[in-house]
Chain A
């Protein structure tokens, strides 16, 4: 299930920069690796997609409308919002604005991956599949892959996730009520694959005291905001709060270092979660 090349064996807590652990793969291996890495997404997407299919048809969407929403929009939270707003009779312009606002957080994803993407004309089209989860996966995995393997890896991971979302939505639209009645626990248990996946993607980032502090505060902030009833705003707000803390602590460290004549502070090598020791 796990790719042996996912991370170097038993690295210290200060792992080498991900970009230094480059794995050469053939084109077929790259596709297989992408599929294998996306399996946790498959487990996490299907139950939620089935729920979406069920909710959408119950709200009056036809089977094809449900499937096309999942195929063309492909953004979980905003799809649920779309269905809820349509069902409540909200103005159509407001539905468009609100759903796009929720998806606005995706704007920061592609620029962070760009250094590892080539000039292939496929890349802009593949960005259709750049969901939260695919971004989290690609942000860690792409720097570890040889350049010629990245397109295949991303396409495979993205297509599997997309197919599972569309397939799950279709299944939910056709037989969602029956499925959830027969296996209620499955729908409750499988979505835990997503937080587990995010955690695994985060753990290699605990490379310095600064990143440990900032990541921990961001997690706590996101939990608090979710508990406060802001599930959609909590991701960008918590991330912005964490980034502000990063800047503040960096500035304080820099000032202290200047006072002692060092002047290096916590520079750019630390930005992607790579501790200063890793660059030495």
Chain B
């Protein structure tokens, strides 16, 4: 069983890595082909290590298939929807804590337009509601 388990772990690890990395190689080839199809007259604007040498990032972004670029932000929206549902679905106070955390995050983001503080405040308010609920009820 132990050997079988290691085999399963290895297969899933390789498969998961392929799921994450192969589409990058495919997209690179796709962008390269589009760049070549347009002709070599446009040289890449930035050849630094971090830049795509197929084309400029904004141009390359426009070359992403439409459905793919629409799907990406909506995956984040769906992740938010899934993760905001409390573990105790039937508990009103758990929902209250989630909603309070969301509102606190939202208000802090409107003030700071930053990443860390809204998350910190959201967790703090969420935690306060959870603790208060535990103390009072």
Residues of A within 8 A of B75 (CB): 105, 108-109, 132, 135-136, 235-236, 239
| Chain A stretch 224-239: residues in CB contact (< 8 A) with chain B | 225-227, 231, 234-239
Residue A272 lies at the interface, judged by CB distance under 8 Å to chain B: yes
Assembled-state Cα–Cα distance A108/B22 (Å): 11
* Range of interface residues on B (Cβ < 8 Å): 35 or more
B interface SS class? helix
B 97-137 binary contact with A (CB < 8 Å = 1; else 0): 11001100110010011111111101100110011001000
What's the minimum C-beta distance from B136 to chain A, rounded to whole angstroms?
Answer: 14
A108–B52 CB distance below 8 A: no
Q: Does A14 count as interface, using CB distance less than 8 angstroms?
A: no
List A1-50 residues whose CB lies under 8 Å from chain B. 1-4, 6-11, 19, 36-37, 39-40, 43
Q: Which of B27, B46, B126 contacts A147 (CB 8 A)?
A: B46
**Residue interface bits A170-185, CB-to-B below 8 A is 1, else 0:** 0000000000000001
Counted as pairs of residues, one from A and one from B, with CB atoms less than 8 Å apart, the total is: 335
Whether A185 touches B61, Cβ cut-off 8 Å, given contacts A73-B9, A147-B49, A198-B79, is: no
**27 contacts across the A-B interface (CB closer than 8 A):** A19-B57, A36-B116, A78-B12, A78-B16, A95-B8, A103-B15, A103-B19, A104-B19, A106-B19, A106-B20, A108-B68, A112-B64, A115-B61, A116-B50, A136-B75, A139-B76, A147-B51, A192-B122, A197-B119, A198-B79, A198-B84, A199-B106, A202-B80, A203-B106, A215-B73, A219-B81, A238-B82
User: Which 4 pairs across A and B sit closest by C-beta, in order of nearness?
Assistant: A222-B81, A2-B114, A115-B60, A2-B116
- Which A residues are within 8 Å of any B CB, using their own CB? 1-4, 6-11, 19, 36-37, 39-40, 43, 61-62, 65, 68-69, 72-75, 78, 82, 86, 92, 95-96, 99-100, 103-120, 123-125, 127-128, 130, 132-133, 135-136, 139, 143, 145-151, 185, 188-203, 205, 211, 214-215, 218-223, 225-227, 231, 234-240, 242-243, 246-247, 268, 271-273
